[in-house]
Amino acid sequence: MQGTTRSTASAITPVEAPAVARSLSIPGFIKRNTCYLAAAQACVGIGNQMMPTLGALMVVHLTGTEALAGAATAILGGCRLLSAYPTGYVTDTYGRKAGLYLGLLLCFLGSFVIGLAMAERSAATFFLGVVVFGLGVGAVQQLRLAAADMYPPHRRAEGLGYVLTGSLLGAMGGPVVISVAQNTAPGLGLDPATLAWWLVPPLLVPSAALVFLIRPDPKEIAAHLERYYPGLTRRAPPPAAQASGSLVSFLHYYPRLVAFVTSTAVYGNMTTMMAMNAIALSHHGHGLPAISLSVAIHIIGMFGLSLPLGRLADRVGRRAVMLLGIVLAAIGGCLVPLAAEYWAVTLGTFLVGLGWSCINVTAVAVIADTTGPAERGRAVGTNDTLNGIASISLPLLAGPLIAVAGLGALAVLSVSLMLVPLVLLLRLRETSPGRYAH
């Protein structure tokens, strides 16, 4: 009986006539749910942004060698990759809130263990904490899916934009938490890194409370959108769009294939340029304060315009915004390694982040547009897994590439990465925002 219900929910997709779409408004409880998700995203983002800042320093402090400086970031990325699809299965089976609770619990335990490791000067405990925290961060990525679930197709990317903007607030909160810890820890007889990570769990408790307040479960809303948006009707999608939850079934439908490939390419490009930005600026003689400012501007590009980009995708279509993202990412990927002036390199990092933001909003919107609620969590989890593979492998490739061919080779790599999704996007037919011709 359960399987019958699940397949029925997946076999229909909400669709509205243009005149009806313009008249539909977002119910108040969905607006509240969206605020809860955005706030939870911000709280989780604080801990997530602390790892790039403190991770390498903590590893060196605990192990006594710089050879393992990148281990924490690598482990975090690998664990996010491992947890993405299983969490998608949990959210498809038990609801989005179940997956979010799981992710928040793992983040809570992981951040506490990381702080404990610094207090006890234990490298083994530290790496254990990073593993647990990384699994939790991967699971909490389903926050953006929960936002997509609650909105009709013509407002879906906008809903994603609201929640992703919370990531910017989290990125800004990370330095605040670190500063508070640095000023307070000596008086408590603690290492600043210890206190910084022990400040994360208290932030996750209200996040769990916010998730609890979300009613009903976003998956339930997605399965019955017409109840909450009077005027929506439903139609059967093309048979090719139906998926069983496997990678092959997701890739079988062309619009989803385009979303997966584009997201993976741009994600790999972004992480590569983010990793190599410091090398490029250092190569031109800029110090740590200037590099830190450049990274901050990059993060603003990643999340600061998520909401207007989401609205743009709802108005002009996912394909147009994805094409814009590809072009911006390629231009930025050329400026970072080739430009000589500080602000030109920093502009490149901003454009790389902005291009990624275009794709981050629209790729999830395309996946939600073409996948039923009972498979949507696994579809987004699959996309996150592919992104994780790219984020680990491409930065590792970039190092030897620079050593052999110089910084300029990164521009060639960036443009090459954008060519395949560009060709796929040019062939994608989007008849109206969120609706595709097979």
For 27, list phi and psi in degrees, rounded to 5: -60, 150
The CATH H-level (homologous superfamily) assignment of domain 238-438 is MFS general substrate transporter like domains (1.20.1250.20)
- At residue 13, φ and ψ (nearest 5 deg) are -130, 135
Amino acid identity of 363? A
Q: What's the burial of 391, exposed, middle or buried (CB within 10 Å: 0-12/13-18/19+)?
A: buried
Query: Residue 2: what pLDDT?
Result: 38
Alpha carbons 48 and 26: distance in angstroms, whole number? 31
Where residue 111 falls (left for φ over 0; alpha for ψ -120 to 50; beta otherwise) is alpha
* C-alpha distances out from residue 254 to 68, 261, 367, Å: 41, 11, 11
pTM: 0.86
Same fold, 24-220 and 238-438: yes
Per-residue pLDDT of the chain (438 residues; tens, 9 = 90+): 333 334 433 444 555 544 455 557 889 999 999 999 998 888 888 887 787 667 777 888 898 876 676 677 778 878 888 999 999 999 999 999 999 999 999 999 999 999 999 999 999 999 999 999 999 988 988 888 999 999 998 899 999 999 998 888 887 887 788 888 888 988 998 988 899 999 999 989 989 999 999 999 999 999 999 889 988 776 556 666 777 778 788 888 999 999 999 999 999 999 888 877 777 787 777 776 677 788 788 889 999 999 999 999 999 999 999 999 999 999 999 999 899 899 999 999 999 999 999 999 999 999 999 998 999 999 999 999 999 898 888 887 887 888 888 888 889 999 999 999 999 999 999 999 998 986
Three-state SS at 13: strand
Return the CATH superfamily for domain 24-220: MFS general substrate transporter like domains (1.20.1250.20)
What is the spatial distance between Cα 168 and Cα 156, in angstroms, rounded to a whole number?
A: 20
Domain boundary assignment for the chain: 24-220, 238-438
- If you search the block for the tokens 């640095």, which residue do you land on? 182
b vs e for 252-261, b when ≥16 Cβ sit within 10 Å of the residue's Cβ? ebbbbebbbb
Query: Measuring CA to CA, how many Å separate 434 from each of 1, 100, 117, 316, 324?
Result: 31, 26, 47, 10, 17
DSSP 415-426: HHHHHHHHHHHH
